[in-house]
Amino acid sequence: MFKPLLSAPHVVQRGEVKPAAAWAYRAFAVLIALAAGGVFLASLGYNPFRVYASMLMGALGTPGMQRETVKLTIPLAMASLGVLLAFKMRFWNIGAEGQFALGAVAASYFANFQPQLPPALLISLMAASAVVLAGLWGLVPAWFKTRFGTNETLFTLMLNYIVLYIITYLREGPWRDPAGGFAATPRFPRQARLPELHFPSIGNVHIGLIVMLLAVVLVYLYLRYTKQGYEIAVVGQNERTARYAGMPVKRIVLRTMFLSAGICGLAGMMQVAGPDRQLTDAVAGGRGFTAVSVVWLARLSPLGSLAVAFLFSVMQKGCSMMQTEFRIPASMSDILQGIVLFFVLGAEFFLQYSIRRRREVPA
């Protein structure tokens, strides 16, 4: 038998970690992250406790800030739900960014070119077209995967850039607002904007909040209690098993990807018709990619995704306040967010794997 001379470390899969221990692990990771971030802040000459306090205050300190944090959570949580469906099937949809933006494009068409329609019909058409167009866009990599076995990670990733350039083209060309100045698409007319609901505690938030909360519940029920949801789980765990059980794997992949991309598209429609009110190439603003981290940290749980999306939004909002109050450059707050993510994702890794040295392995 070959015997290694060096005791090279290697990674082995860990057995089941008890939930309580797992949560302790994660809490510990967050603490270490905050400590590491604190050292970083202190090295720049800031008092880390004051900075963290201002982050928290900036995200949740006043009803207005709570409202803005909620408004950030809506599109992120919604996009995460879309990503989650595909990930459950182990279909690595990294194209949420583009699907989100394409949903916004579809909605913008009706908002800007069919504003004479009755408002209820207009909003419904905007939503439906966003789901369908983004869904069809998602079908492209799914079809290539089922037909030719292409790598969906790269495929969906590259489709993102195409959508961004479609928006640039529309903005500079056919959809350019004739009102002048720099190239921009027109502002949405009032009737094409999402209605707002008044919450006594935090003020007005667009109805996307309700849609998003409903979607969390529906995706949870869909995955947990329906036949289709079960099929997704089986295909995700082992495609061969699914085939052996007589499941139409290709159809399941296509259907699930349509849903996944469609939900991302709806998220885009809600963002453009809610707070943005105008189509820009920054409509997705990286949410499609952040959603991947959200879903991963939430361990593919819909409710968990909502919670993690909320925490991400708190962090984003908090970092913006940190910049205002301490005039810390934006790149610093990016680094801080990176540190937190690094440790928390690291904890997830160590919950599943451990590193051993070869010597410990019995001969």
Partner 1 sequence: MKQSRCFRFIALSLLLALLAGGLAPAASAEVTSAFKPVPVEELKVGMVLIGSQDDGFSGAHYNGLEGMKTALGLKDEQVLYKFNVPETAECDSALRELVDAGCQIIFGNSWGFMNFMEEIAEEYPEVIFSHCSGYKNNGVNFNNYFGRIYQARYLAGIAAGMKTQTNKIGYVAAWADNAEVNGGINAFALGVQSVNPDAVVYVKYISSWFDPTLEKQTAVALLALDCDVIAQHVDTSMPQVAAQEAGKFGCGYNTDMTPAAPDAHLTAPIWHWASVYTAQVQDVVDGTWVPENYFLGLKEGMVDISPLSKNVAPGTAEKIEEARARILSGEWDVFTGPISSNAGELVVKEGEALADADITGGLMTNLLIKGVEVK
Question: What are the residues binding partner 1 (CB under 8 A)?
Answer: 62, 64-65, 67-68, 71-72, 178-184, 187, 271, 274-278, 280, 282-283, 285, 320-321, 323-324, 327, 329-330
Give the nearer residue to partner 1 in terms of CB position, either 118 or 200.
Answer: 200
Minimum Å gap between C-beta 44 and partner 1 is 14
Give the nearer residue to partner 1 in terms of CB position, either 268 or 302.
Answer: 268
Minimum Å gap between C-beta 146 and partner 1 is 36
Give the nearer residue to partner 1 in terms of CB position, either 47 or 238.
Answer: 47
Give the nearer residue to partner 1 in terms of CB position, either 256 or 320.
Answer: 320
Give the nearer residue to partner 1 in terms of CB position, either 65 or 86.
Answer: 65
Minimum Å gap between C-beta 50 and partner 1 is 13
Minimum Å gap between C-beta 6 and partner 1 is 42
Give the nearer residue to partner 1 in terms of CB position, either 153 or 323.
Answer: 323
Give the nearer residue to partner 1 in terms of CB position, either 183 or 245.
Answer: 183
Tokens of 174: 């056919």
Nearest alpha-carbon partner for 303 in 242, 182, 205, 215: 215
Q: Which amino acid is at 267?
A: A
Say which residues have a Cβ less than 8 Å from residue 324's Cβ, sequence separation at least 6. 58
Minimum Å gap between C-beta 160 and partner 1 is 17
How many Å apart are CA 78 and CA 216, to the nearest integer?
8
Say which residues have a Cβ less than 8 Å from residue 126's Cβ, sequence separation at least 6. 106, 107, 110, 111, 192, 269, 273
Between the two ends of the chain, the Cα-to-Cα distance in Å is 10
Minimum Å gap between C-beta 250 and partner 1 is 38
CA distances from 320 to 117, 325, 326, 328 (A): 39, 9, 10, 9
Give the nearer residue to partner 1 in terms of CB position, either 101 or 340.
Answer: 101
Minimum Å gap between C-beta 301 and partner 1 is 27
Minimum Å gap between C-beta 270 and partner 1 is 11
